[in-house]
Amino acid sequence: MTAVAHEPTTPAEGLLEIFLSLDTPEGFRAELIEGEIVVTPPPDGDHEKYISRIVRQVIKRSRTEMDFSGNKGLKLPSGGACPRSHVVPDATFGAVEGDLFGAADSWMPADGVAMVLEVTSTKPRADRETKRRCYARAGIPLYLLVDREEASVTLFSEPRGDEYRELCMRPFGKPLTLPEPFAFELETADFL
């Protein structure tokens, strides 16, 4: 018996099939964000420094024990031409008791995600705008953005529709309060 290839019925399905079949070079990250395929090169050292410093604080200082992944693909509501966005946050956090990542596929829904972290890279607009909308649409409670060009850290909270209703921005060097389940002051003095 010969297998018959599935023909996409819509342009969005065709785009999703193309995206899922991409073979990106080692270290590059491909994402499908609001109907656009975005490929970013491997991060530089400063990008990784911010992630490392935040992850260490979250793991050591959070009131609730947190699970962490640095490369977890999330399937999120899109709002764009494609029915789902496929996004890879720089860091994804969830409560340990839920075993968030244990049985997850390569691309998992955002159920149980407590916070995502992004550090701006070569395509800062995606981190500042399109990913923020995708995370809000998915109902992810907290989105932490480290904006290297602005030398600031912003916590977005209270997602509703395409946006977060609350935000708290601090310049590098000033602490930022992370609410429950984290419940600590994120120190940013060593971001300077």
Q: Tens of pLDDT along 71-83?
A: 899 999 877 556 6
Residue 96: other Cβ atoms inside 10 A: 12
CA pseudo-torsion sign 94, 97, 101, 104: negative
d(CA 181, CA 97): 12
Quick check: is 142 in a domain? yes
Quick check: is 122 in a domain? yes
Quick check: is 87 in a domain? yes
**pLDDT tens readout for residues 104-123:** 888 999 999 999 999 998 88
pTM given for the model: 0.90
Please compute the mean of the pLDDT values over residues 41-45 and round it to a whole number: 92
pLDDT over 90, % of the chain: 71
How much is the mean pLDDT over the chain?
Answer: 90
Quick check: is 125 in a domain? yes
Q: What is the CA radius of gyration of the chain?
A: 17
Quick check: is 66 in a domain? yes
Quick check: is 62 in a domain? yes
CATH number at residue 139: 3.90.1570.10
For residue 76, the model assigns a pLDDT of 93
**pLDDT tens readout for residues 6-20:** 566 788 888 888 899
Q: Determine the structural domain holding residue 112 and report its residue range.
A: 11-191
Q: If residue 56 lies in a helix (H) or strand (E), which one and from where to where?
A: helix 45-61
Q: How many domains does the chain have?
A: 1
Quick check: is 184 in a domain? yes
For residue 134, the model assigns a pLDDT of 94
Quick check: is 5 in a domain? no
